[in-house]
Amino acid sequence: MLALRLARGSRPLVQLRRLLVAAASAGTGLLLLSVLAEATAHPAGSFPRLLWALVPLAVTVRLAVAVARTDPATRPRDGMSAAGLGPVRLSLVAAISTAVACTLGSVIALAVFLHLRGDVTGLPFDGAGAELLHADLPLPVAASLTLLAVVPLAGSAAVAVALRPRAPRPVQASLPWGVALTACGLAVEAYAGRDTAGLLAGWSLTALGLALAGPALTYACGALVQSARPGALRLLAGRGLQEEAGRVGGPLGLLCAVAVAGFTALALRDRGGLPLSLGPLTGPATALVAGCVAATLLTAAVEARQARAQTRQTLLGLGTPGRVLRTAAGLRATALLTVCAPLSWGVAQLTAAALTR
């Protein structure tokens, strides 16, 4: 009940972020149900399609974690522990709020899916949806409910783990692991060739490696900005990047992984493209993944802005012009783009070479 009251009393922007989680959950649930419908009609080859559907599930869960981090209701305050709302209890409240938002999305996905199949009222789009979703075949009820429950359960569990109290670690510590996982991903892709399962495993390792290396890369961008006798503006931008590395580095690495997939698809467009197995659902699934990753990065940026709000107010109180702060923010974004764009392009070229060897 406490989680529901906190959710109901939140500000509009907080509610909007929760609605984004519900929308992502609805898209993922609809995709999972579509894969299940395709599997009932064509059991052979259904397992690779289910594996590819796990990618939107993973980015939806990551978005739910990012939104939970920016939720004011989960932020520790003075006196909250005395009222029985310590860090552990607040993480439980955040997990319940995430479960509610994801469950709402799953219910919407089920309603839309049944409507497209014509199981509720009529056949929209001249029956095209019914043909795509194989409305002539019965849908396993238990399997459908199980798939719809995956997103709320995974999202709430991930939020509870991510928000638990723990000691901070240096952002540079994950760089060797990130480089190693990225190299392993490229090796798996080279070994598997155009095999669907091997490609998914290799790209997943590459994406995880980039996500782990993202904080260290962001920290290095901050060091690069304030190198070579910096002035006040570059010092402000560089120190800001280093402070934000732990928050925005992981989502930035995931965005690099999405960019790698896009660059690889462009490099292979004359050689059959990427061997994805989602069929007509490839476009919607790609849009869902890209949207969730972009929303996660924006949400992480909001969290970073909230964390430096006091510093911003102090600088403004000392007479710092607002134009200087905006210029520093633009310099931070330019530095990240300058480093991440060539990195994504280079990894994509290596991926394309591995898939065509």
Q: Which two tokens stand for residue 63?
A: 């978005």
Judgement on whether residues 110 and 210 belong to the same structural domain of the protein: no
Domain span holding position 254: 171-357
| Number of domains composing the chain | 2
Output the pLDDT for position 165: 74
What is the C-alpha to C-alpha distance for residues 350 and 275, in angstroms, rounded to an integer? Answer: 17
Judgement on whether residues 159 and 112 belong to the same structural domain of the protein: yes
Q: Which of 166, 192, 210 is the last residue of a domain?
A: 166
Side chain identity at residue 149, one-letter code:
A
Check: CB of residue 246 under 8 Å from CB of residue 167: no
> What are the distances in angstroms from CA 142 to CA 33, 119, 148, 189?
12, 17, 10, 35
Output the pLDDT for position 8: 57
Q: Which of 166, 184, 209 is the last residue of a domain?
A: 166
Judgement on whether residues 286 and 149 belong to the same structural domain of the protein: no
Run means of pLDDT, 10 residues per run, the chain, 357 residues: 54 84 94 85 73 89 92 64 64 87 93 76 54 69 89 93 78 87 90 77 90 93 87 87 90 93 83 66 86 93 83 80 86 92 92 80
Residue 118's Cβ-count burial label (10 Å; 0-12, 13-18, 19+) is middle
Buried b (16+ CB within 10 A) or exposed e, 126-142: eeebbebbbbeeebeee
Q: Which two tokens stand for residue 212?
A: 């782990």
Judgement on whether residues 85 and 150 belong to the same structural domain of the protein: yes
Output the pLDDT for position 219: 93
Judgement on whether residues 25 and 139 belong to the same structural domain of the protein: yes
Judgement on whether residues 177 and 317 belong to the same structural domain of the protein: yes
Listing DSSP states for 55-91 in one string gives HHHHHHHHHHHHHHHH-GGGS--TTTTTTT--HHHHH
**pTM exceeds cut of 0.85:** yes
Judgement on whether residues 271 and 140 belong to the same structural domain of the protein: no
Q: Which of 150, 166, 182 is the last residue of a domain?
A: 166
Judgement on whether residues 156 and 231 belong to the same structural domain of the protein: no
